[in-house]
Amino acid sequence: MPEPVLDAVVVGAGPAGAAAALALARAGRSVVMVERGPFPGSKNVYGGVIYARILDEVVPSWWEEVPAERWVVRRSTMVVDGDRSLAIDYRTPTWGEAPYNGMTAIRAEFDRWLASKATDAGARLVTSTVATGLLRDERGAICGVRTDRPDGDLRARVVVACDGVNSFLAKEAGIHPKADAAHHTLGVKEVRSLDPDRIDERFGVPRDHGVDIEILGCTRGIPGGGFLYTNRDTVSIGVVVSLTGLAAAGVRPEELVADVREHPSVAPLLAGSELVEYAAHLIPEGGYDTMPELVTDGMVVAGDAAAMTLAAGIWLEGVNFAIGSGLAAGRAVDAALRADDTSAAGLARYRRELESSFVLADHKRFRKAPSLVLSDRVQQRYPGLVCDLVEGLFTVNNPEPKPGGASFALSVARRNGVRLRELAADAWRAARIFG
């Protein structure tokens, strides 16, 4: 007897996969999520904040049940040069009230929670199972996945590939390059235990509220940056660096984390903390211009597998894009099943829906941001330039008078190897990208 064919198999039970499975299950479709880890989130690492308003489409008043660590009410951007730093620190109590803005979370808890929404709606979750390859029908269209279980073929009318940054399914389908170091970054993170009272005091927030600090100029000239954010009784600290830059520099990743941890502006915040988990994960940071085809005959791709992390300098987001793309994928697959056309043409509505939502609109708008943010001047020269400017402004050298405006600025720029022409060009570029 031939085994029954599912409407859809979703590979990966992270935020994209759980959202896709949820949308499909709600539409009454038979759907199985295949997760290679022992539980959803067990293979996942992120770098700071989940901006969760997209969850309005999942559960009303989601904030009453989501496993948030702290609601982020302080967003700080720090520029570091040597042992100096300049921080722009924004705080607002508004972000600490429903429906909130961003939260810190533990992915093992968050991803499990989101996947439970899909299973509650009728999706099946199969853990500890790797989708090892694609099944194709006689016309070459994808019609399911092979798994590493005995007799583990799962036949489905559509495969939803939410198998993460290394997406072997997208590689096998020919829509991902086999290896693309130039458009990926490596995130390395330490989670450090710290008494919640100390976190509240040091970061100046009440118990449920937290802080996210992004740091530029702390990665020894390797394109990237550092981060620090507060959980309930831990703080997470780490760096995100370009893979090609890391390979060329020959520095070990944990050394870069140590640089951030021991920086005089950071170390006092962490005093007495202890390492409780070390982690590393790749991030697809190429942006819109490096995104793969999102559909092929019998398959759609969402989340990190579709390079949907927004790494646009001052904006660093990913989980929201994974959820948004997963929901859209689930809806598009349901529509394609209804129309009985699961070819690439039948699934094309997925891309159209993403283009009109934040998922591709934000990516398209900031498509040139990664190259500016990771450029040599932004990474290596501007941190020193801004620190020199601020130091010059606020160092009182009496009986010397204060340094003069334009000539002072010029000399600081020169000292940091920046030409005014370049500064103007970058300012114009930034205005066009972010404006």
Partner 1 sequence: MSAAPASEQPGDGHRRPEVSFETRMATVEFRVGSRPHITVDGDTCRGCTTKACVHACPANLFAPTADGGILFNYEQCFECGTCYMICNHEGAITWTYPDGGHGVVFRRG
Which stretches does DSSP call E strand in 39-138? 68-81, 84-91, 103-105, 124-126, 131-136
Candidate residues 44, 104, 296, 379; the one interacting with partner 1 per rule CB under 8 A: 44
Q: Which helix (H) or strand (E) holds 286?
A: none
For residue 162, the minimal CB distance to partner 1 (Å) is 14
Residue 87 or 179: which CB sits closer to partner 1?
179
CB of 278 within 8 A of CB of 189?
yes
Comparing C-alpha atoms, which of 301, 435, 433 is closest to residue 359?
Answer: 301
42 binds partner 1, rule: CB under 8 A: yes
Question: Considering CB under 8 A, how many residues would be counted as binding partner 1?
Answer: 64
Candidate residues 191, 305, 385, 386; the one interacting with partner 1 per rule CB under 8 A: 191
For residue 408, the minimal CB distance to partner 1 (Å) is 28
Q: Which helix (H) or strand (E) holds 199?
A: helix 196-203
Residue 317 or 362: which CB sits closer to partner 1?
317
x/- binding map, residues 171-190, to partner 1, per CB under 8 A? Answer: -------xxxx--x-x-xx-
x/- binding map, residues 222-261, to partner 1, per CB under 8 A? Answer: ---------x--x-x------xx-xx-xxxxxx---xx-x
Residue 221 or 253: which CB sits closer to partner 1?
253
For residue 364, the minimal CB distance to partner 1 (Å) is 25
Inter-CA distances, 22 with 19, 57, 351, 416, Å: 5, 11, 19, 52
Inter-CA distances, 132 with 21, 34, 172, 303, 342, Å: 20, 11, 10, 19, 22
195 binds partner 1, rule: CB under 8 A: no
* Ranges within 272-311 binding partner 1 (CB under 8 A): 272-282
CB of 169 within 8 A of CB of 161?
yes
339 binds partner 1, rule: CB under 8 A: no
Report helix angle 349-356 to 358-365, nearest 10.
Answer: 70
Candidate residues 70, 74, 112, 263; the one interacting with partner 1 per rule CB under 8 A: 263
| Residue 87 in tokens | 């921080």
* Ranges within 66-85 binding partner 1 (CB under 8 A): 83
Strand, helix or coil at 394?
Answer: helix
x/- binding map, residues 116-155, to partner 1, per CB under 8 A? Answer: -----------xxxx-x--------------xxx------
